[in-house]
Amino acid sequence: GDVGDASEAADDAEAPAPMERPRAWVFVSATLGDDARLSWFTEPCGLADAEVLRVGSPFDFARQAALYVPPGFPWPADPGHSPAVARLAAQTAERLGGRTLVLTTTLRALRVIGDALAERLAGHGITVLVEGGALKRVLIERFREGATAGGRGAVLVASSSFWEGVDVPGDALQAVVIDKLPFPPPGDPLVEARCQRLEAEGRSGFADYSVPEAAVALKQGAGRLIRRETDTGLLVVCDTRLTGMSYGRRLLAALPPMRRLADAAAFEAALTRLAGDVASEAEIHE
């Protein structure tokens, strides 16, 4: 892999030389940051004084999507957390006939959840695809085809790069399940160097680096769900820190303005509606 100097990387807030030249630069993305100044992007690039234009989404998230944070879920560090994620993802996939993307924050969770889902869904005619079993583009294509080739659809369990750059519009993807809040790994030398630099400046490494990183990553993961104006679906975040910790408010604010599902009964009702929509759409195309 690439080898770099964490101390050099931590100093990237000093404006790169190309940015200092008299020319126009335009940066466009759906995830350049989670605050009004897009600080997650502008500060490291030395663009704190750049003009910022934020354009609203064309999607009606309150109508098209719902967010569910299962209350009473095992704490992320609990050994029972990943098995509980697998149970909830299996419940979702059974009701929707697959059509579920499970995003994990670690490769260990990927393996545990992938194995558990394969076992739970073995008799349901639902294919379980796991990152590492094929190339990324092949897995995504198989996931799409599962819901369009007359089958019951599929479940895709993935980590790392699948949090972004995955475009599965329509009914092939109707639920995104995220296992934990995607904070950067605390033992990573680059993360430690950047946090230490912020703390040397009198700032908080957690609040000013880790939380913004998690907010942007969470927004990217959630962005896999609604890809077109006609899409509908459920976002499930299996981490009660999102609603129970003070920093959760900032992470919630980074998400699209979906309607909130308060309890298991509301989640079940939303699954029932989605499953009915899928069945109706299938009948139309028969």
Domain spans of the chain? 61-284
Q: How far apart are CA 41 and CA 234, in angstroms?
A: 28
Q: What is the pTM of this model?
A: 0.83
- 130-176: pLDDT as tens digits: 999 999 999 999 999 876 555 578 999 999 889 998 999 998 999 99
pLDDT top residue among 282 and 88: 88
Q: How far apart are CA 107 and CA 33, in angstroms?
A: 26
Residues 76 and 151: beta-carbon distance below 8 Å: no
Least confident range of 9-13, 17-21, 72-76, 233-237? 9-13
pLDDT top residue among 160 and 222: 222
Q: Which pLDDT does position 67 carry in this prediction? A: 98
Q: Could you tell me the two tokens for 216? A: 């942007």
Q: Which pLDDT does position 58 carry in this prediction? A: 80
pLDDT-based confidence at residue 9 (cuts at 50, 70, 90):
low
Instruction: Give the number of other Cβ atoms within 10 Å of residue 79's Cβ.
Output: 8
DSSP state of 209: I
Rg (CA), the chain: 20
Q: How far apart are CA 59 and CA 61, in angstroms?
A: 6
pLDDT top residue among 34 and 29: 29
Q: Which pLDDT does position 269 carry in this prediction? A: 97
Q: Which fold has domain 61-284?
A: Rossmann fold (3.40.50)
Q: Could you tell me the two tokens for 281? A: 């759409």
Q: Which residues pair with 175 in a beta bridge?
A: 100, 234
Q: Which pLDDT does position 160 carry in this prediction? A: 86
Whether the pLDDT of residue 46 is over 80: the answer is no
| 264-284 helix and 81-96 helix, angle to the nearest 10 degrees | 40
Give residues with Cβ within 8 angstroms of 109, minimum separation 6.
82, 85, 159, 179, 180
pLDDT-based confidence at residue 39 (cuts at 50, 70, 90):
confident
Least confident range of 2-16, 135-149, 208-222? 2-16
Q: How far apart are CA 169 and CA 144, in angstroms?
A: 9
Q: Could you tell me the two tokens for 222? A: 């959630």
Least confident range of 26-30, 131-135, 222-226? 26-30
